[in-house]
Amino acid sequence: MERKNKYQPIDCDYHDTLEEALVLKWRVQFDYLDDDGKQQSYIGLLQDLKTEKGEEFVKLENESWLRLDKLTHVKIHKEPK
């Protein structure tokens, strides 16, 4: 299956911050664009990060994977859940 949009790599510092939130179990709050281009929100913990075929993804608590270039706004709550 071919992707609708070509992946746009995110800044390495931004990726490092998400990785830190994952490891330290910080709660995140972010907005993102779904596959239909509609704005969605997420509040919770990150479960995993992966790179596949040059695209970076984050795994959410509901087990879904979200491509990192779909994030439009991120807030990290630097305290354990």
Q: Where are the domains of the chain?
A: 12-76
Residue range 12-76, CATH number? 2.30.30
Q: Which residue blocks in the chain are alpha helix, DSSP H?
A: 12-23
CB 40 within 8 A of CB 31: yes
Please give the Cα distance from 22 to 17 (Å, whole number).
Answer: 9
pLDDT in tens, the chain (81 residues): 445 689 999 999 989 999 999 999 999 999 999 989 999 999 999 999 999 999 999 999 999 999 999 999 999 998 766
pLDDT at 4: 65
